[in-house]
Structure 1
Amino acid sequence: MCLGLPMTIVETDGISALCEFRGEQRRVSMLLLSDPPAGARVLVFIDTAVRLLHEAEARLIGAAIDGLGAAINGEDCDHFFADLIDREPQLPEHLRLD
């Protein structure tokens, strides 16, 4: 399984960027994006930034990662997924039949 990390661009040269997530920094490819500036939040898979994130979405992804850690450790994880409690799962728009 591969997890995407919501990382913040620290510095970039347009081709690659130094990005940070919770104190860990790594150099990631920026070739799939249109030169986002330092401070932008990006979703990173296998050291490649795949899309820009809004701050709220980056927080939700971070909470989900914390929730997975809690679940693995046998701890209560419901509060990490508060946005999903009491609602039916929704298909992405491109998969809906309507």
Structure 2
Amino acid sequence: MRGWRCRGSAASWGPAAERGIRVGLVQARADGAELAALAGLVESGRLDLRVARTFPFERVAEAHTMLAKGGFRGGVVLVADFASPPASPQEGR
């Protein structure tokens, strides 16, 4: 995929070939056709996305702490809910 928006990384648990896996970098830009192609790869099982845990965007510090500690398999995903405005002006700061 061409583009620059999404990036992936692999932890340093030894060479991937020794662990029997293939690691690659997938990059995509905000392009509907490329997003559909990525979704197709996931649905077909050719692209395996492992998610260890999701956090709401407000808990980014906790997600960062988890990343720093390590010891998990998969990615950490931040979920941003930009559709819902903050309950009060103080929460938006």
TM-score, with normalisation over the residues of structure 1? 0.22
TM-score, with normalisation over the residues of structure 2? 0.23
Higher percent of residues as strand: 1
Higher percent of residues as helix: 2
